[in-house]
Amino acid sequence: MADLALGLLSELQCHGVRWQGDGGLARKGGAGPSDHKALSLGEHTAMVPMLNLASQASPYSAVPDARGEQAVIFRDGQALGQVRLPGVPSFYGLSTADGTPYWKIATLHSRDVLATTVLQHCIRMNDASSACQFCAIGQSLEAGKTIARKRPAQLAEVAEAAVRLDGVKHMVMTTGTPNTPDRGAAILCESAAAVTARVALPIQAQCEPPDSDAWFGRLKAAGVVSLGMHLEAVSEAVRARIMPGKAQVPLARYFSAFEAAVKVFGHGQVSTYILAGLGDSGDAIAQMSERLAAMGVYPFVVPFVPIDGTPLASHPKPSSAFMQALYPRIGQSLRRHGLRAADVHAGCAKCGACSALRQHE
Protein backbone atom coordinates (compact mmCIF):
# COMPACT_ATOMS: atom_id res chain seq x y z
CA MET A 1 0.00 0.00 0.00
CA ALA A 2 1.21 3.53 -0.78
CA ASP A 3 2.20 5.96 1.98
CA LEU A 4 -0.42 8.37 3.24
CA ALA A 5 -0.34 11.75 1.46
CA LEU A 6 1.67 14.23 3.57
CA GLY A 7 -1.06 16.85 3.20
CA LEU A 8 -3.42 14.62 5.17
CA LEU A 9 -1.38 14.91 8.36
CA SER A 10 -2.96 18.30 9.08
CA GLU A 11 -6.40 16.70 8.72
CA LEU A 12 -5.42 13.95 11.14
CA GLN A 13 -4.09 16.45 13.69
CA CYS A 14 -7.37 18.42 13.64
CA HIS A 15 -9.79 15.48 13.68
CA GLY A 16 -7.66 13.07 15.67
CA VAL A 17 -7.59 9.38 14.79
CA ARG A 18 -9.32 6.39 16.38
CA TRP A 19 -6.53 4.02 17.31
CA GLN A 20 -7.48 0.39 16.74
CA GLY A 21 -4.56 -1.21 18.60
CA ASP A 22 -3.14 -1.17 22.12
CA GLY A 23 -1.58 1.97 23.62
CA GLY A 24 1.99 1.22 22.48
CA LEU A 25 4.37 4.20 22.43
CA ALA A 26 2.02 7.05 23.27
CA ARG A 27 1.76 10.00 25.61
CA LYS A 28 -1.18 10.22 27.97
CA GLY A 29 -1.46 13.28 30.22
CA GLY A 30 1.48 15.58 31.05
CA ALA A 31 2.59 18.82 29.44
CA GLY A 32 3.03 19.15 25.67
CA PRO A 33 1.33 16.79 23.20
CA SER A 34 -0.75 14.56 25.45
CA ASP A 35 -2.89 11.66 24.25
CA HIS A 36 -0.88 11.59 21.01
CA LYS A 37 1.04 9.00 19.03
CA ALA A 38 3.87 9.63 16.59
CA LEU A 39 3.28 8.76 12.92
CA SER A 40 6.04 8.94 10.30
CA LEU A 41 5.87 9.55 6.57
CA GLY A 42 9.26 9.54 4.91
CA GLU A 43 11.40 12.11 6.72
CA HIS A 44 8.38 13.70 8.36
CA THR A 45 7.01 12.70 11.78
CA ALA A 46 3.83 14.14 13.27
CA MET A 47 2.25 13.83 16.69
CA VAL A 48 -1.41 12.94 16.15
CA PRO A 49 -4.09 12.86 18.88
CA MET A 50 -5.48 9.34 19.15
CA LEU A 51 -6.10 8.38 22.72
CA ASN A 52 -8.44 11.14 23.89
CA LEU A 53 -12.22 10.90 23.85
CA ALA A 54 -12.48 13.79 21.36
CA SER A 55 -10.67 11.66 18.76
CA GLN A 56 -13.17 8.83 19.06
CA ALA A 57 -15.65 10.72 16.84
CA SER A 58 -13.05 11.18 14.11
CA PRO A 59 -13.79 9.82 10.64
CA TYR A 60 -10.16 8.60 10.59
CA SER A 61 -8.93 5.38 12.16
CA ALA A 62 -5.53 3.67 12.33
CA VAL A 63 -5.08 -0.11 12.28
CA PRO A 64 -1.53 -1.22 13.22
CA ASP A 65 0.12 -4.33 11.80
CA ALA A 66 0.91 -7.27 14.08
CA ARG A 67 4.47 -6.02 14.74
CA GLY A 68 3.35 -2.51 15.58
CA GLU A 69 5.72 -1.04 12.97
CA GLN A 70 3.19 0.33 10.50
CA ALA A 71 -0.45 1.28 10.45
CA VAL A 72 -3.04 1.75 7.73
CA ILE A 73 -5.11 4.94 7.96
CA PHE A 74 -8.78 4.62 7.06
CA ARG A 75 -11.45 7.26 6.49
CA ASP A 76 -15.01 6.02 6.92
CA GLY A 77 -13.75 2.48 6.34
CA GLN A 78 -11.77 3.27 3.16
CA ALA A 79 -7.98 2.72 3.30
CA LEU A 80 -6.07 5.94 2.51
CA GLY A 81 -2.44 4.89 2.93
CA GLN A 82 0.08 3.66 5.43
CA VAL A 83 2.31 5.31 8.02
CA ARG A 84 5.25 4.07 10.08
CA LEU A 85 5.14 3.90 13.87
CA PRO A 86 8.43 4.81 15.57
CA GLY A 87 9.65 1.97 17.80
CA VAL A 88 10.13 2.06 21.56
CA PRO A 89 13.48 3.78 22.23
CA SER A 90 16.24 1.72 23.81
CA PHE A 91 16.74 4.14 26.71
CA TYR A 92 13.21 3.33 27.95
CA GLY A 93 14.58 -0.05 29.10
CA LEU A 94 17.03 1.51 31.59
CA SER A 95 16.64 2.68 35.19
CA THR A 96 18.70 4.87 37.49
CA ALA A 97 20.63 3.36 40.40
CA ASP A 98 17.70 4.20 42.70
CA GLY A 99 15.34 2.22 40.44
CA THR A 100 13.60 5.10 38.61
CA PRO A 101 12.88 4.10 35.00
CA TYR A 102 14.44 6.53 32.54
CA TRP A 103 11.06 7.01 30.80
CA LYS A 104 9.71 8.58 33.98
CA ILE A 105 12.48 11.20 33.80
CA ALA A 106 12.32 12.10 30.09
CA THR A 107 10.41 10.81 27.09
CA LEU A 108 10.91 10.63 23.36
CA HIS A 109 8.86 13.15 21.38
CA SER A 110 8.41 12.69 17.66
CA ARG A 111 11.46 10.61 16.71
CA ASP A 112 14.58 12.45 17.85
CA VAL A 113 13.57 14.86 20.60
CA LEU A 114 14.11 14.17 24.29
CA ALA A 115 11.51 15.98 26.38
CA THR A 116 11.15 16.49 30.09
CA THR A 117 9.01 18.49 32.49
CA VAL A 118 11.61 19.28 35.15
CA LEU A 119 9.03 20.24 37.75
CA GLN A 120 5.75 18.34 37.35
CA HIS A 121 3.90 20.83 39.49
CA CYS A 122 2.62 24.36 38.95
CA ILE A 123 1.50 27.05 41.36
CA ARG A 124 -1.82 27.26 39.56
CA MET A 125 -2.70 23.64 38.84
CA ASN A 126 -4.80 22.92 41.95
CA ASP A 127 -6.90 26.08 41.84
CA ALA A 128 -9.65 26.03 39.21
CA SER A 129 -9.88 29.83 39.30
CA SER A 130 -6.30 30.22 38.09
CA ALA A 131 -5.33 26.96 36.34
CA CYS A 132 -4.81 26.85 32.57
CA GLN A 133 -7.85 24.90 31.42
CA PHE A 134 -6.08 22.96 28.68
CA CYS A 135 -3.26 21.69 30.89
CA ALA A 136 -2.82 18.10 32.07
CA ILE A 137 0.45 18.53 33.97
CA GLY A 138 -0.84 16.77 37.10
CA GLN A 139 -2.33 13.74 35.35
CA SER A 140 0.79 11.79 34.48
CA LEU A 141 2.10 12.33 38.02
CA GLU A 142 -1.13 11.00 39.52
CA ALA A 143 -0.96 8.02 37.17
CA GLY A 144 2.59 7.20 38.34
CA LYS A 145 4.00 7.82 34.84
CA THR A 146 6.52 10.43 35.90
CA ILE A 147 8.21 11.83 39.00
CA ALA A 148 7.53 15.21 40.55
CA ARG A 149 11.04 16.64 40.31
CA LYS A 150 13.70 15.51 37.90
CA ARG A 151 17.11 16.08 39.47
CA PRO A 152 19.92 17.51 37.31
CA ALA A 153 22.02 14.34 37.65
CA GLN A 154 19.06 12.19 36.58
CA LEU A 155 18.45 14.34 33.50
CA ALA A 156 22.12 14.18 32.56
CA GLU A 157 22.15 10.39 32.91
CA VAL A 158 19.04 9.94 30.75
CA ALA A 159 20.17 12.48 28.13
CA GLU A 160 23.52 10.74 27.72
CA ALA A 161 21.79 7.38 27.19
CA ALA A 162 19.19 8.81 24.80
CA VAL A 163 21.92 10.32 22.61
CA ARG A 164 24.11 7.22 22.70
CA LEU A 165 21.41 4.57 22.25
CA ASP A 166 18.71 6.34 20.24
CA GLY A 167 20.42 9.18 18.39
CA VAL A 168 18.37 11.92 20.03
CA LYS A 169 19.25 15.25 18.38
CA HIS A 170 17.85 17.93 20.70
CA MET A 171 16.08 18.34 24.02
CA VAL A 172 13.05 20.22 25.29
CA MET A 173 13.07 21.17 28.95
CA THR A 174 9.81 22.59 30.16
CA THR A 175 8.60 23.15 33.69
CA GLY A 176 5.52 23.79 35.70
CA THR A 177 5.73 27.27 37.18
CA PRO A 178 7.04 27.31 40.76
CA ASN A 179 6.16 29.94 43.33
CA THR A 180 9.38 31.88 42.80
CA PRO A 181 10.03 35.12 40.91
CA ASP A 182 12.28 33.39 38.38
CA ARG A 183 9.26 31.33 37.16
CA GLY A 184 11.34 28.18 36.89
CA ALA A 185 14.39 29.69 35.16
CA ALA A 186 16.67 28.71 38.05
CA ILE A 187 15.85 24.99 37.92
CA LEU A 188 16.11 25.07 34.13
CA CYS A 189 19.60 26.59 34.50
CA GLU A 190 20.84 23.88 36.86
CA SER A 191 19.23 21.15 34.75
CA ALA A 192 20.69 22.40 31.47
CA ALA A 193 24.12 22.85 33.01
CA ALA A 194 24.12 19.24 34.24
CA VAL A 195 23.04 17.85 30.85
CA THR A 196 25.48 19.87 28.76
CA ALA A 197 28.34 18.97 31.11
CA ARG A 198 27.62 15.30 30.34
CA VAL A 199 26.64 15.24 26.66
CA ALA A 200 26.59 17.54 23.62
CA LEU A 201 22.85 18.08 23.17
CA PRO A 202 21.18 21.34 22.08
CA ILE A 203 18.54 22.33 24.64
CA GLN A 204 15.44 24.47 24.38
CA ALA A 205 14.20 25.72 27.76
CA GLN A 206 10.55 26.70 28.18
CA CYS A 207 9.19 28.90 30.96
CA GLU A 208 7.05 31.93 31.65
CA PRO A 209 8.81 35.30 31.45
CA PRO A 210 10.94 35.48 34.61
CA ASP A 211 11.09 38.51 36.89
CA SER A 212 14.40 39.65 35.47
CA ASP A 213 15.78 39.52 31.92
CA ALA A 214 19.14 38.62 33.48
CA TRP A 215 17.88 35.03 33.54
CA PHE A 216 18.23 34.82 29.76
CA GLY A 217 22.00 35.27 29.98
CA ARG A 218 22.16 32.72 32.80
CA LEU A 219 20.17 30.20 30.78
CA LYS A 220 22.48 30.68 27.83
CA ALA A 221 25.55 30.30 30.06
CA ALA A 222 24.06 27.03 31.32
CA GLY A 223 23.96 25.67 27.77
CA VAL A 224 20.42 26.55 26.65
CA VAL A 225 20.48 27.46 22.93
CA SER A 226 16.79 28.26 22.30
CA LEU A 227 14.04 29.60 24.53
CA GLY A 228 10.27 29.15 24.47
CA MET A 229 7.90 31.48 26.31
CA HIS A 230 4.42 30.35 25.44
CA LEU A 231 1.47 32.66 24.91
CA GLU A 232 -0.99 29.79 24.13
CA ALA A 233 -3.81 32.36 23.52
CA VAL A 234 -3.32 35.80 21.98
CA SER A 235 -6.32 38.01 22.75
CA GLU A 236 -7.06 39.32 26.25
CA ALA A 237 -10.58 37.90 26.43
CA VAL A 238 -9.44 34.40 25.50
CA ARG A 239 -6.42 34.58 27.81
CA ALA A 240 -8.63 35.58 30.75
CA ARG A 241 -11.16 32.83 30.04
CA ILE A 242 -8.82 29.92 29.27
CA MET A 243 -5.85 30.68 31.53
CA PRO A 244 -6.98 33.12 34.20
CA GLY A 245 -3.82 32.83 36.30
CA LYS A 246 -1.30 33.08 33.51
CA ALA A 247 -3.27 35.97 31.99
CA GLN A 248 -2.18 38.00 35.03
CA VAL A 249 1.22 38.15 33.33
CA PRO A 250 0.50 41.00 30.90
CA LEU A 251 1.18 40.63 27.19
CA ALA A 252 3.44 43.67 27.57
CA ARG A 253 5.73 41.59 29.81
CA TYR A 254 5.82 38.81 27.22
CA PHE A 255 6.87 41.31 24.60
CA SER A 256 9.59 42.91 26.69
CA ALA A 257 10.86 39.42 27.54
CA PHE A 258 10.79 38.35 23.88
CA GLU A 259 12.80 41.42 22.92
CA ALA A 260 15.40 40.83 25.62
CA ALA A 261 15.60 37.09 24.89
CA VAL A 262 16.14 37.59 21.14
CA LYS A 263 19.13 39.81 21.99
CA VAL A 264 20.61 36.91 23.98
CA PHE A 265 19.66 33.84 21.91
CA GLY A 266 19.46 35.41 18.46
CA HIS A 267 16.94 35.94 15.66
CA GLY A 268 14.66 32.90 15.37
CA GLN A 269 15.99 31.14 18.49
CA VAL A 270 13.12 32.40 20.66
CA SER A 271 9.68 30.93 20.06
CA THR A 272 6.17 30.83 21.42
CA TYR A 273 3.47 28.18 21.30
CA ILE A 274 0.04 29.37 20.14
CA LEU A 275 -2.95 27.03 20.46
CA ALA A 276 -5.38 27.68 17.60
CA GLY A 277 -8.98 26.77 18.41
CA LEU A 278 -9.36 28.23 21.90
CA GLY A 279 -11.43 31.17 20.66
CA ASP A 280 -8.89 33.50 19.05
CA SER A 281 -9.90 34.46 15.52
CA GLY A 282 -7.70 33.59 12.58
CA ASP A 283 -7.03 37.32 12.14
CA ALA A 284 -5.94 37.69 15.78
CA ILE A 285 -3.52 34.76 15.52
CA ALA A 286 -2.16 35.90 12.15
CA GLN A 287 -1.64 39.48 13.37
CA MET A 288 0.07 38.32 16.55
CA SER A 289 2.27 35.95 14.56
CA GLU A 290 3.33 38.78 12.24
CA ARG A 291 4.22 40.98 15.22
CA LEU A 292 6.22 38.15 16.81
CA ALA A 293 7.99 37.17 13.60
CA ALA A 294 9.00 40.80 13.02
CA MET A 295 10.78 40.65 16.39
CA GLY A 296 12.59 37.43 15.48
CA VAL A 297 10.26 35.24 17.57
CA TYR A 298 9.03 32.04 15.87
CA PRO A 299 5.23 31.72 16.34
CA PHE A 300 4.70 27.97 16.60
CA VAL A 301 0.99 27.65 15.88
CA VAL A 302 -0.60 24.27 16.64
CA PRO A 303 -4.20 23.02 16.59
CA PHE A 304 -5.70 22.80 20.08
CA VAL A 305 -6.34 19.22 21.23
CA PRO A 306 -8.89 18.61 24.01
CA ILE A 307 -7.24 16.46 26.69
CA ASP A 308 -9.34 14.06 28.76
CA GLY A 309 -9.68 15.03 32.40
CA THR A 310 -9.13 18.76 31.78
CA PRO A 311 -11.88 21.42 31.87
CA LEU A 312 -11.55 21.69 28.08
CA ALA A 313 -12.01 17.96 27.42
CA SER A 314 -15.27 18.70 25.58
CA HIS A 315 -14.15 21.99 23.97
CA PRO A 316 -14.51 21.93 20.16
CA LYS A 317 -11.37 21.29 18.14
CA PRO A 318 -10.41 23.76 15.40
CA SER A 319 -11.79 22.70 12.05
CA SER A 320 -9.40 21.53 9.40
CA ALA A 321 -10.61 24.42 7.19
CA PHE A 322 -9.68 26.94 9.94
CA MET A 323 -6.15 25.54 10.18
CA GLN A 324 -5.72 25.27 6.40
CA ALA A 325 -6.64 28.95 6.08
CA LEU A 326 -4.38 29.96 8.96
CA TYR A 327 -1.15 28.08 8.19
CA PRO A 328 -0.35 29.93 4.92
CA ARG A 329 -0.81 33.30 6.67
CA ILE A 330 1.70 32.32 9.37
CA GLY A 331 3.98 30.95 6.65
CA GLN A 332 3.99 34.33 4.91
CA SER A 333 5.12 36.03 8.14
CA LEU A 334 7.85 33.43 8.65
CA ARG A 335 9.19 33.98 5.13
CA ARG A 336 8.91 37.76 5.37
CA HIS A 337 11.09 37.81 8.47
CA GLY A 338 13.51 35.03 7.59
CA LEU A 339 12.40 32.44 10.14
CA ARG A 340 12.81 28.73 9.41
CA ALA A 341 12.37 25.68 11.61
CA ALA A 342 15.54 24.20 10.16
CA ASP A 343 17.55 27.15 11.53
CA VAL A 344 16.23 26.73 15.08
CA HIS A 345 18.83 24.98 17.23
CA ALA A 346 16.44 23.06 19.50
CA GLY A 347 12.86 22.74 20.65
CA CYS A 348 9.29 22.65 19.42
CA ALA A 349 9.69 24.94 16.41
CA LYS A 350 12.61 22.79 15.22
CA CYS A 351 10.73 19.54 15.87
CA GLY A 352 7.48 20.76 14.35
CA ALA A 353 5.64 17.47 14.96
CA CYS A 354 2.60 19.00 16.70
CA SER A 355 1.74 21.26 13.76
CA ALA A 356 1.60 21.28 9.96
CA LEU A 357 3.16 24.75 9.91
CA ARG A 358 6.47 23.45 8.54
CA GLN A 359 4.77 22.62 5.23
CA HIS A 360 3.85 26.30 4.86
CA GLU A 361 7.19 27.94 5.72
Which of 39, 231, 261, 354 is the binder for ligand SF4 (CB under 6 A)? 354
- The rounded Cα 81 to chain-centroid distance in angstroms is 26
| Contacts (CB under 6 A) with ligand SF4, residues 46-75 | 47
Q: Which is nearer to ligand SF4, 116 or 235 (CB)?
A: 116
Angstrom distance (rounded) from CA 292 to CA 313 = 29
Q: Select the residue interacting with ligand SF4 from 225, 348, 356, 357 (CB under 6 A).
A: 348
Q: Which of residues 225-284 bind ligand SF4 (CB under 6 A)?
A: none
Report if residue 356 touches ligand SF4, rule: CB under 6 A.
no
- When binding is defined by CB under 6 A, the residue of 29, 33, 64, 279 that contacts ligand SF4 is 33
Kindly state the smallest distance separating residue 256's Cβ from ligand SF4, in Å.
Answer: 25
CB 106 within 8 A of CB 114: yes
DSSP string, 284-334: HHHHHHHHHHHHTEEEEEEE--PPTTSTTTTSPPPPHHHHHHHHHHHHHHH
Nearer to ligand SF4 by C-beta: 260 or 297? 297
Site string for ligand SF4, 97-116 (x = CB under 6 A): ------------xx--x-x-
Restricting to residues 170-209, which ones interact with ligand SF4 according to CB under 6 A? 172
Give the integer Cα–Cα distance in Å for 317 and 57.
11
* Shortest CB 182 distance to ligand SF4, Å: 23
Number of continuous H segments (helices) and E segments (strands) in the chain: 10, 14
Give 192's contacts (C-beta < 8 A, 6+ positions apart): 173, 203, 205, 219, 222, 223, 224
Q: Which is nearer to ligand SF4, 315 or 358 (CB)?
A: 358
3-state secondary structure (DSSP) of residue 171: strand
Q: Residue 341 CA to chain centroid, in angstroms? A: 14
Q: Which residues lie near ligand SF4 (CB under 6 A)? A: 32-33, 47, 109-110, 113, 115, 172, 348, 351-354
